[in-house]
A and B are shown apart, each in its own frame.
Chain A
Amino acid sequence: MRWTVRSTRLRSFGAATAAFVVGGTLLSGCVASERDESGDGSTFVFAGSAAPKTLDPFYASDGETFRISRQIFEGLVGTDPGTVDPAPLLAESWDQSPDGLSYTFQLKEGVSFHDDTPFDAEAVCANFDRWYQTPELQQTDDKAYYYGKLFRGFESGPTAGNGIYDSCTADDELTATVNLNSPFAGFIAALTLPAFSMQSPTALEEYQDDEADNVLTTEYGTAHPTGTGPFVFDAWNQGSGEVRLTRNDDYWGEVASIERVVVVEIDTPRGRADALRNGDIDGFDLVGPADVAPLGDDGFTVEDRPAFNILYLAFNQAQAPFDDPRVRQAIAHAIDKDAVISASMPDGTEPATQFVPELVDGYADDVATYDYDPDEARRLLEEAGVAGSTITFNYPTNISRPYMPQPEDTFNVIRSQLEEVGLSIEPAAQEWTDYLEQVQSTPDHGIHLLGWTGDYNDPDNFLGVFFGQAGLEWGFDEPGLFESIAAPRELTTPEEQRPLYEQVNRDVMEFLPGVPLASPVPSLAFAPEVEGYVASPVQDEVWNTITIED
């Protein structure tokens, strides 16, 4: 491998310097044993931004944990590579009953877990039942978050009786039926989440303790995750944050070409880019916008994920003058989204017109738009009698989210645009945690930046979380809107829901609770030797497709 060979040569030169600098001949005898790194073509080193929380995906909801889960585990339903559309994975097909309440899954034949436990209908039901029976202690949003959110209730605890899960039956070895209490049109799409991966019932029995005080650090969660995926867990070094996986040679699908995978933790985008340039890693996620072009120029591969997120500027209507629609429209007209994108987001990012990204079902092509028009903005402000007034602009510091890679720059350029139309801006910066508290749990904020990355293809995952109920973030109470967002959830299929959600999007943009800014394109970067990485909008990226050229 060209890359490694070059760095090896340089390292030995560095070695001489280092020996001098450290002032010791301490280890200079070892230089001779310089490893032969030619076999390294089959190790893939990838840098994420944080360590995983646990290796049992059921108790996780963060991207870094799921990145690793996706290599070890598989669910009944996957996504078509590069899209958000559900596709067969461990289930070859499924049928929905006419009342929409039962789903029958035909399972793939000849699949077994890494511990040789066969994957069959019994195993599927064991997983569904395990989720439903989650002990009360683990039902919190920092653990069984997705189950609580999507299945709306557990067998025990405060939500007992609210759940939509009824039962699971193994009809025969490869047929399982899941029965629900009430319709859930997003059920199949929801099953694409790694939290609902199939885990080996034998391994769970032996190593997992769902009753543990600390379920994240059980033996299963730190050392024995067992799934059906193309990679098998090897080791997790908590100190260095490294997770090691090896190839599953008995994988039922396409066996990976790379032999080993190491996932390391480097928290800054800059640090990850440097590590790639220096050959320490082969690829990384969440490239900083400023690094995209230079990395591409230097011969690295930059893969863009189709954007499945939204960044918006919110108005707090509980505070004057944002209760006045003219002021909201004025600010919308004052913002030049293209300039905001060029100053703070990766190339290729498109401006947003509504509060869902284009890939989501229910995206409407004909919403009200507010084009960049400073004169109109000034006129509206004049009309509302607030020209020249001062408004508070809250933004977070020290944070980079996929939907908001550089909040300081975004803030800065929007501020200069608002000053252009005669408003004065009072900046209010806070650390991420304090910031969230300020804008979501207190009425004391003006306009602010926030957004969301979708988990799976369901408009409720955007509209519902933003505008599902009255809250301090937006400061308005519009029961009509809340009802129209809740209504489609009673329907049984995404097709029936679509027109209703399109109407919600039109209504929201008429009401203008905030300005949708853009769906920034999250990118990954790889060494030139790495090929075959398929980026997915919902990060459903499995590494058995990767090859590393020698």
Chain B
Amino acid sequence: MLRFVARRLLLLVPVLFGLSVLLFAWVRALPGDPARALLGERASPAGIDRVNEIYGFDRPLLEQYGLYVSALLRGDFGTSIQTGRSVTGSFVDYFPATLELAGAALLFAVVLGVPLGYLAARHQGRLLDTVVVSGSLLGVVTPVFFLAILLKLVFADWLGWLPASLRQDPRIDATHVTNFYVLDGLLTGELDAAWDAVLHLVLPAIALGTIPLAIIVRITRAAVADVLNEDYVRTARAKGLSSRTVSVRHVLRNALLPVVTTIGLQAGLLLSGAVLTETVFAFNGVGSYLFTAITRRDYPVLQGFILFIALIYCLVNLLVDVAYGVIDPRMRAS
């Protein structure tokens, strides 16, 4: 197991290196330049040249790349052109928001998806099954931002049940330690602040979690259906084990494997969706910040953030593979 993990981590190196090259080339292939994005509509040519000089954008590309890589190797991801803040620092500021949102979305998807998928499988071909399956299909085909706008309209604007902008009511002067607002509230004992953060998570999490929910429902249903057809389950049934014992001990456990894999694969999907969801709900996270960085041509932020995201994405997948090994002993051997 350890060797497997080590090998995978080693494989990350060329991937991340390749990505850094591609990213470097990509940001410089973007039309427009960061100095103009910084100075706005009345930038003078001299002012633009001066900014480019300060940030070194007037140097030969190869030299710029050299500087970039040598800084990277020292763990320095640079500073944002727009805000002057360190890229790492900004990521630490924004990532907890996105992670909290993605976590809530995943929680929503799993907590609702696994039981629904299981129920659908147990009632295969009946009404419940059809409703669940077609409902989940609808979840997959509705554009995330459309769903987000509808949710916001219905639950925030019309019914007024839930907040739909920001991460917390600004009137609550909450203490922030980790920038995970729910966790912060629990840690500092400001339970009302934590609860308020939970409420602010509900609508964005549903919007973001719907596609993963749909996928988890379908995967669980398929996996459970497969397992139900396996000989050992039939045997267990024949042996007269209670259907409940059979469900838990045999069916769910064996059906979990594909579900876990799917959850890992959702990481990318969640991050893609986060860009859109965060925009709709004015939720200050990595997604919306990254998109702003693209429009403002903030080179260091683009390079740094995408590298971080890719790294996290790869690590999550590694984690999934490890979890796979834990659940399925057969994998451990190989």
Contact = CB atoms under 8 A, between A and B. Distances in A.
Direct contact of A and B (CB under 8 A): yes
Given A18-B202, A240-B167, A141 B84 contact: no
21 contacts: A7-B160, A10-B160, A11-B162, A22-B201, A141-B44, A142-B39, A217-B84, A237-B176, A239-B93, A244-B173, A262-B171, A268-B282, A280-B165, A401-B41, A431-B295, A433-B32, A433-B295, A433-B296, A434-B32, A436-B43, A440-B43
A13 to B, nearest CB: 6
A532 interface: no
Given A27-B191, A280-B166, A452-B41, A267 B50 contact: no
Could you say which interface size class chain A belongs to?
35 or more
Could you say which interface size class chain B belongs to?
35 or more
A51 B83 contact: yes
Interface of A is mostly: mixed
Given A21-B206, A240-B166, A278-B160, 12 more contacts: A22-B205, A43-B171, A45-B170, A215-B84, A216-B84, A216-B85, A266-B166, A280-B165, A280-B170, A433-B33, A437-B31, A452-B42
Most chain B CB neighbours (cut-off 10 Å) among A215, A398, A441: A441
B107 A22 contact: yes
Nearest to A9: B160
B47 interface: yes
A277 B157 contact: yes
Interface in B157-192: 157, 159-173, 176, 179, 182, 191-192
Interface in A165-188: none
A240 B202 contact: no
Interface string B74-99: 00000100111100011001101100
A525 interface: no
Interface stretch (A31-39, A113-121, A369-377, A484-492): A31-39
Nearest to A141: B47
B85 A238 contact: yes
Contacts of A14: 155, 161-163, 199, 202
B161 A17 contact: yes
Contacts of B288: 267
A434 B31 contact: yes
A280 B155 CA distance: 14
Nearest to B42: A465
A265 B182 CA distance: 20
Interface of A: 4, 6-7, 10-11, 13-15, 17-18, 21-24, 26-27, 30-31, 33-35, 37, 40, 43, 45, 51, 53-54, 137, 139-142, 214-217, 237-242, 244, 260, 262, 264-268, 271-272, 274-275, 277-278, 280-281, 398, 401, 430-434, 436-437, 440-441, 450-452, 465
Contact of B156 (A4, A54, A244, A274): A274
Contacts of B1: none
B192 A34 contact: yes
Contacts of A214: 79, 84
B107 A274 contact: no
Contacts of B94: 239
Contacts of B82: 53
Nearest to A396: B41
Contacts of B97: 239-240
A141 B50 contact: yes
B297 interface: yes
A142 B298 CA distance: 14
A142 B51 contact: yes
A534 B83 CA distance: 30
A18 B111 contact: no
A22 B41 contact: no
Contacts of A31: 195
Contacts of A271: 165, 280-282
B38 interface: yes
A86 to B, nearest CB: 23
B194 interface: yes
B163 to A, nearest CB: 6
Nearest to A157: B50
Contacts of B292: 267
A67 B34 CA distance: 24
A70 to B, nearest CB: 19
A238 B94 CA distance: 9
Interface string B49-86: 01100100000000000000000000000010011110
Interface in B20-43: 31-33, 35-43
A238 B90 contact: yes
A450 B40 CA distance: 11
A452 B201 CA distance: 39
Given A216-B84, A265-B284, A433-B33, A274 B108 contact: no
Contacts of B38: 142
B195 A278 contact: no
A270 B274 CA distance: 19
Contacts of A434: 31-32
A23 B202 contact: no
Most chain A CB neighbours (cut-off 10 Å) among B37, B39, B54, B170: B170
B223 interface: no
A432 B297 CA distance: 10
A436 B284 contact: no
Contact of A437 (B32, B160, B173): B32
Contacts of B104: 22
A239 B169 contact: no
B9 interface: no
B13 interface: no
B45 interface: yes
B151 to A, nearest CB: 11
Nearest to A35: B192
A141 B297 contact: no
Contacts of A215: 84
Contacts of B173: 244, 260
